[in-house]
Amino acid sequence: MTRYWRDGFYRTSVLGNIHWVVGHEVDRFEWEPAAPTLRDDEALHLYRAQAGGFARLVRPNADCPVCGRPVFFYQNSFGSRVFFDELGPPWPKHPCTMHAPADKAAAIVITVSADQLRSQEQFDAIERWSANNLDTAFTERYGAPPWHLAIFAGIYESHGTEILAIRSGTSYRYFALRPTDRAWLVDGQLLTYLGNELSYVSHVDLSVQQLKLRPISANRALLHVFELERLEDANNKSG
């Protein structure tokens, strides 16, 4: 029997739910973990996951126009563009396109969204083919573990309070926005969070935004939403 330690890793379900699996010991009988082979490397290229890191969880939505490497691509309504190698702090920009010119002929908003989340089967296959897991690969390259991935679920307003909601796995998290906070996000956009801090790319000017917000309970957030729904129902009946 062979016993080895497997570091914690992110797992994505077929529904796009993301959760963290803590590190644990694994027992195998008549089995030794094999190093990635040339065939594994070819499979990673086929899945466009050779970049490592978040490419295991999220399908890169573009290829670098210079070197052809899969990247995460954002574009605003003015045609300005930016390419990233990873998602979340430190938001490393792809070196080939550090000064990508604007493309005003194709001035539409493009972000990395929930549509790019990989299926459970893809993620499991990529983990088997990779030399190490997402957390290890990211930390070795950037000196810190990756932030958690989440989906922007919307902003709700009630009684002068704006509530920002994100979905991570099967659960939601809620944060109170201050009047000075600018949450420039589009529905379904992927963002990263760590504790009560959010980090994302603004679809307006493509700058990296980091907000430190006050978390609020789900009960309070839902109360605001229910009050809004009741108000809308009353307005519809009176109309």
Q: Read off the pLDDT of residues 137-155 as tens digits, 9 standing for 90 and up.
A: 788 889 999 999 999 999 8
Residue 86 lies in a domain: no
Yes or no: say if 123 and 53 are a contact pair by the CB < 8 Å rule: no
Average pLDDT, the chain: 78
Instruction: Verify that 25 and 138 share a domain, yes or no.
Output: yes
- Look up residue 197 and give its two tokens: 């801090």
Beta strands in 77-187 (DSSP E): 81-84, 148-158, 161-168, 171-177
Q: Is the pLDDT of residue 195 over 80?
A: yes
Question: pLDDT tens digit string along 20-70?
Answer: 666 666 555 444 444 445 466 677 777 777 666 888 889 999 999 899 889
User: 130 and 190: one domain?
Assistant: no
pLDDT at position 8:
65
Same domain for 182 and 161, yes or no, is: yes
Query: Quick one: 55 and 133 in the same domain?
Result: yes
Q: Are residues 136 and 213 in the same domain?
A: no
Predicted confidence at residue 197, as pLDDT, reads 96
Residues in the chain: 239
Name the 3-class secondary structure at 121. helix
Contact indicator for 72, 84 with CB cutoff of 8 Å? yes
Closest of 79, 70, 230, 55 to residue 134, by C-alpha: 55
* Residue 220 predicted with pLDDT over 60: yes
Environment class of 105 (CB within 10 Å of its CB; exposed 0-12, middle 13-18, buried 19+): exposed
Query: Given this model, what pLDDT does residue 112 score?
Result: 93
User: Does the pLDDT at position 12 exceed 60?
Assistant: no
Per-residue confidence (pLDDT) for residue 136, from 0 to 100: 79
Residue where a domain stops, chosen among 146, 165, 187? 146
* Alpha carbon of residue 185 to chain centroid: 13
Tokens of 101: 């010119």
What's the CA gap between 151 and 18, in Å, rounded? 10
* 91 located within any domain: no
237 phi and psi angles, rounded to 5 deg: -70, -40
* 155 and 166 in a common domain: yes
pTM, whole model, 2 decimals?
A: 0.73
Evaluate whether residue 69 is within a structural domain. no
Domain boundaries, position 166: 148-238
Instruction: Tell the residue number behind the tokens 């604007």, with chain if given.
Output: 102
Domain identity same for 155 and 200: yes
Kindly state whether residues 47 and 139 are assigned to the same domain: yes
User: Residue 169 has what DSSP assignment?
Assistant: T
pLDDT of residue 75: 93
Which H or E element spans position 9?
strand 9-12
Structural domain count of the chain: 2
Radius of gyration of the chain (CA): 20
229 pLDDT higher than 50: no
Domain match, 129 and 221 both: no
